[in-house]
Each structure stands twice: as structure tokens, then as C-alpha cells.
């Protein structure tokens, strides 16, 4: 499965929890890194930025305590 088509807006037919989105993005970033063999590839950076946004969103909702 490729990350490029990923859309968290519910268009895939069901809602994904914020925690699930974070875990998905983390796994996808690591898988992409293994394929690209680079932390600086455009795709790895794109996924990393989206992961950062989701983690920030999580922290705003649930405070500084991360229970993942």
C-alpha cells in the first residue's frame, strides 16, 4: 500500500481514530524509509511532516501526557 493515496478525512468509508492515524503514519514512514534508504527523501519528509501535525493535534487534545 502506498502512502500517497492516504486520506484521513473519512473518504475510505470509516473513521480512523487520531491514535490509529499516528500509528499508521509512523509505520508508513518507517516502511518508506526502508524502501528509500534515506530519511531525506521527499516522500519520507512528507510523511514525517504529516506525522508531526497529527502528534501536535493529539497533544493539544490530550495534553502533554502521551500514552501510546
- pLDDT single digits (tens) 3-24: 334 444 444 444 578 999 999 9
Asked whether 58 and 22 are in contact (CB, 8 A), the reply is yes
The residue assigned the cell 492516504 is 6
Give the CA distances from residue 64 to residues 27, 50, 55, 67, 68, in Å, rounded to whole numbers and listed in that order. Answer: 22, 19, 11, 10, 12
Q: How confident is the model at residue 66 (pLDDT cuts 50, 70, 90)?
A: low
Residue 43: count other Cβ atoms within 10 Å of its Cβ: 17
Q: What is the pLDDT of residue 64?
A: 66
Alpha helices for 1-68 (secondary structure H): 18-36, 42-62
Amino acid at each position: 500500500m502506498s502512502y500517497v493515496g492516504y486520506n484521513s478525512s473519512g473518504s475510505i468509508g470509516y473513521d480512523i481514530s487520531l491514535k490509529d492515524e499516528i500509528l499508521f503514519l509512523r509505520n508508513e514512514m518507517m516502511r518508506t524509509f526502508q524502501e528509500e534508504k534515506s530519511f531525506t527523501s521527499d516522500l519520507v519528509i512528507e510523511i514525517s511532516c504529516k506525522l508531526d501535525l497529527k502528534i501536535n493535534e493529539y497533544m493539544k487534545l490530550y495534553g502533554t501526557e502521551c500514552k501510546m
